[in-house]
Chain A
């Protein structure tokens, strides 16, 4: 079945540092890929998505590119802020429509 693997956290960075959170997937067919974010005390919300190979999703300074050849969808941000501290989930949606999530990566940004 489909699966998503993302780097374990926590990831601790200083403000303005560069962020990469790795995500790889296993799936048949042509899934869509997503990054969801869960801020402290809040619900899951979509950060960005890409629906086909080589698409780049972007939002709030975050980017991720759908790489079919490496089955990856790594999340990047050039300069993180304290307000980016949250748990980030990589996910895919395939023929069944439900989301398959990675284990989540906690990001802590220190001033």
Chain B
């Protein structure tokens, strides 16, 4: 079946602009995660959605970052007023319910964001 898909695959933007990154999880996966992979910080957790529960936003680096998940499926990560340090590969992952420490997370190919 189809895996996790993300769009766009590449995004180049100017400093100060807003960007939206999209993630389509695997059908039937109720848990969805966003991570960021950057040269300086490695792979770091950003935000986690589980069903209808309030998202865990503990990894978001600043209030310029936000995410939503509509209808329990597609998710959009929004970065407002982008800065050069936001340049990174943004990865989305999904897993089966219940999302717990045992279940495999399936990763999408990522969106490479470059802020000029």
Contact of B43 among A31, A96, A101 (CB under 8 A): A101
Count contacts between A and B, CB distance < 8 Å. 59
- Interface size classification for chain A: 20 to 34
Interface residues in B, total, Cβ within 8 A: 25
Query: Is A85 an interface residue, CB under 8 A from the partner?
Result: no
| A49, CB-defined interface residue at 8 Å | yes
Smallest CB-CB separation from A95: which chain B residue? B101
With A32-B102, A96-B56, A97-B101 as given contacts, are A44 and B91 in contact (CB-CB < 8 Å)? yes
**In the complex, how many angstroms separate the beta carbon of B67 from the nearest chain A beta carbon?**
13
- Name the residue in A31, A99, A100 with the highest tally of chain B Cβ atoms < 10 Å from its Cβ: A99
B33 touches A98 (CB 8 A): yes
One of B43, B50, B101, B106 near A93 (C-beta < 8 A): B101
A96-B93 Cα distance, complex, nearest whole Å = 15
Q: Which residues of B pack against A, CB within 8 Å?
A: 31, 33, 35, 42-45, 48, 50, 56, 58-59, 91, 93, 99-102, 104-110
What is the interface of chain A, defined by CB distance below 8 A to chain B? 30-32, 34, 36, 42-46, 49, 51, 89, 91, 93-104
